[in-house]
Structure 1
Amino acid sequence: MAMMIRVRSRDGFERVSIPNPNLTIAELKSQIESQLHVPISNQTLSVNQNLLLAKTLDARSQFTDMANPRTLISSLNIGHGSLIYLYYDGEREIATPRSARVTPAGSFGKKMTMDDLIAKQMRVTRQEQPHCEMVSFDRDAANNFQLYVNETLAFGVKRGGFMYGRVDDDGKVEVDFIYEPPQLGKEDRLFLLRDSEEEKIVDAIASGLGMKRVGFIFTQSVGQEKDNYTMSGFEVAQAVELHAESGLKEWVTALVKLEVNEDGGPDVHFEAFQMSDMCVRLFKEDWFDLEGGEPKEGEEIDPKVSKMKKEVVVGGKDVKEVDNDFFLVVVKIADHQGPLQSSFPIENRNVAVTTKALRAHLDRTKSLPFVKRISDFHLLLAVARYLDLNADVPALTECVLSQRPVPEGYQLLIESMASA
């Protein structure tokens, strides 16, 4: 019985048909050569996605799980619908689905317009290197974000937030806190109900702490798993809009989702990307067909692609639909213990943050120096709503940044808020 295996390479997701599940690695490579036009000698295969980050031969040689040509793929639990990763060097002709083929602009009998000429300059290829060398998450901030989605929302709807931190000279991004704006999450959509006044306070706090907005983080719902894609067209459009708005070349988009582990249990999984330079350019120049993303009656949307208003060149073909993976540049992930606590209730969730929460927090941390007790972004946000944005917030955040004693006047003010 014929089966299908998904193959992800730098070119995105592709599919390979195999005659049965009892193929050897050598026979699978032969099928990949035949169907995807990648020579056997140029293939490195693995079930580990980190293969796509291995840029040197020595690094790729560490991925040995699919190195033995006589190994049966069934012994690696590779079967119908399984996903494997392919690394290859050089260029190849990428097969385009027949439904996506169009007559190339400028072909015989058709007059080439200025739009046709412009479109031919829009060549969408995989961007190999991100501008961000690595993204490191504060452990507590990342855990609090996923924990809420996991335990309260059960990954049933989407949730998002803005990541704040620092970018070092080598392009490494450190995320030290996550701000969750007002929002409405559905199974397949996330609507950010952004509050400009609240964002001004957030940015002022971040500035006082020597930080800035460095990325966007969101979750995928468990209902999206059946479609087998990294990011949907709607997610790409939202992510690239925020990336373009930031003006930061190191801007990171992080994705959190629930996956099934080897034991059949659920694991929370983080991935990080940058939207490619071409993706940002296409968005800024209004090539994305955002309105065309709404389905017509009886029409199904393919979540794996982004629609363009005009044809772009992908793999030598002129198309109006681009596989979303072409727009994603993988970023390495690490973690660290940042300078802030993350134990105060978080804004804009199901339960409103009240002065009782401030009182409880101060009581719980009373054994610590006062500056330590308030070294939490979410607490600072709750307090800053009642302070002068141009005088009080910079003074208070400077104390937190330098960890020097908080002036008595601010201590009394915060204590009085907690007692209100």
Structure 2
Amino acid sequence: MLIRIRSRDGLERLQIDNPNITIAQLKTLIESQLRVPIHNQTLSTNQSLLIAKSPSEIAQFTDMFNSQTLISSLGITHGSIIFLSYDGERKIAGPQIRPAGFEGRKMTMDDLIAKQMRITRQENPNCELVSFDRDAANGFQHYVNETLAFGVKRGGFMYGTVSDEGKVEVNYIYEPPQQGNEHSLILLKDPDEERLVEAIALGLGMRRVGFIFSQTISQMKKDYTLSNKELLQAVELQGESDLKEWVTVMVKLEVNEDGGADVHFEAFQMSDQCVKLFRDGWFVTEIGADDDPKLSKMKKDVVVGGKDTKEVDNDFFLVVVKILDHQGPLSSTFPVENRNTMITMKTLKNHLDRTKNLSFVKRISDFHVLLLLARFLDVNSDVPALAGCVHAQATIPEGYQILIDSMAASG
């Protein structure tokens, strides 16, 4: 006999040889013929299943929950309709009843996939929150505000830890070589420097946990949260990471009630769907001068709010993350790399002189100090070892102390 399965993809036919099969056997047939895994299937004779959104709402449809129930006992016969809800995406296995808009022409696989690709908002982030070391956060915003006057975009990578509960702690920011202007930010690759940065992170027991960037003052009056260029950069960096808790932080000016401007931090994750679409090549990555910055262009039609479109509001892809602050284990008083100021051995000497009342390990407990020192040390042994002493707040071996003092003295 033939029964019909209605899901979010439309109406599909299922061939059944034995009308007295169980629900478990029915699910097996759905998996083999319609390519929906058994563990993903929720079935019901109630069509309201298709408008249920949350897992708790879907769980209320229990009429086909018992896998040993015979479908005939539920009144399911030839021509009956069963409603199917499932998570994820799939490719439709074979010829189906054509969705509206395709009458009179043959559907391609791209048509079918596009018809399935519904853009939905992700309600909850994959991390609990992000907490910023106060000095690291202030150091970044102060430079963007006081030196660049929010006229040039600036970016950096955030390093820290992730707890078992998904709490991200940012303890320092590495600002790579970059080219920024009013509208765009290009992060330049320096493999040698990046090796040093990762070696330091290894010794400190930390890792790269996200990306931070500033918007410019000209963006204050725009009606978007992130522009299409910013979203593409953010999702590319998140997609390159294997960290599901990866966070993107935006720093911007906002007009306050008195007409002045305050600096604000906002944190997001790009949604899982956004990352998947980017990895699968759905996004148009060339941005035209006349393109609306609040919209991301897709190469194929997607479904947004029940309508087919190639343009998606960027906000659909953003998942808001709660921000807190903390006092981290490192200081942030040493000049930051790759800015307009030259960092020399005299800079190091001034820093050590200024902190001579502290223990030696405290004097070098600054990522930016460690990065300068790392340029003159072995990246495979000395750099992680020195950073490891800082991580443990252990006594710096005398040999390293003599070396660092001599380096400073040469300035």
Q: Answer yes or no: same fold by TM over 0.5.
A: yes
The Cα shift of 1:225 comes to 1.8
Structure 1 unaligned regions, length at least 5:
1-103
Count the aligned residue pairs.
Answer: 312
**Aligned residue number for residue 388 of structure 1:** 378
Q: Deviations over 1:137-168 (max 9, x none)?
A: 00000000000000000000100000000000
User: TM-score, with normalisation over the residues of structure 2?
Assistant: 0.75
CA–CA separation in structure 2 for the residues paired with 1:167 and 1:106: 48
Look up the match of 1:125.
120
What stretches of structure 2 of length at least 5 have no aligned partner? 1-98
Distance 2:374 2:304 in 1: 49
Partners of 1:279 and 1:343 in 2: CA distance: 37
Note if 1:253 corresponds to 2:248.
Answer: yes
Does the 8 Å contact 1:105/1:318 carry over to 2? no
CA drift at 1:174: 0.2
- In structure 1, what residue type is equivalent to 2:240? E
Q: Distance in 2 between matches of 1:256 and 1:203?
A: 25
> TM-score, normalised on structure 1?
0.73
Match of 1:371 in 2: 361
What is residue 141 of structure 1 aligned with on the other side?
A: 136
Q: Give the 5 Å matches for 1:35-50.
A: none
Residues 1:353 and 2:354 are matched in the alignment: no
* Matches of 2:374 and 2:238, distance apart in 1: 27
RMSD after superposition: 1.1
Q: Deviations over 1:383-414 (max 9, x none)?
A: 00110011101210111011111001000111
Q: Please list every run of at least 4 consecutive aligned residues from structure 1 whose deviation after the TM superposition is greater than 4 angstroms.
A: none
Offset of residue 294 of structure 1:
2.6
Counterpart CA distance in 2 for 1:105 and 1:395 is: 65
Aligned residues: percent identity? Answer: 71
The answer to whether the 8 Å contact 1:105/1:112 transfers is: no
Describe how 1:229-308 pairs up with structure 2 within 5 A.
229-291=224-286, 293-295=287-289, 300-308=290-298
CA contact (8 A) 1:106 1:116 kept: no
1:256-306 residue CA offsets vs partner (Å, 9 max, x unmatched): 000111111110000000000000000100111102x133xxxx2200011
Measure the CA separation in 2 of the matches of 1:154 and 1:271. 19
**How big is the shift at 1:107?**
2.6
CA distance in 1, matches of 2:124, 2:194: 31
- Give distance in 2, aligned partners of 1:228 and 1:359: 48
Deviations 1:203-231 (A, max 9, x none): 11011100000000000000112222100
Contact 1:165–1:176 (Cα < 8 Å) also in 2 = yes
Given candidates 313, 317, 322, the residue that maps to 1:332 is: 322
Q: Determine which structure has more spread, i.e. the larger CA radius of gyration.
A: 2
Partner SS for 1:226: coil
> Hey, what's the Cα distance between the residues in 1 that align with 2:129 and 2:116?
30
The answer to whether the 8 A contact 1:105-1:116 is kept is no
Match of 1:342 among 332, 343, 350: 332
Distance (whole Å) between structure 1 residues aligned to residue 100 and residue 149 of structure 2: 48
Pairwise CA distance, 1:109? 2.8
CA contact (8 A) 1:106 1:112 kept: no
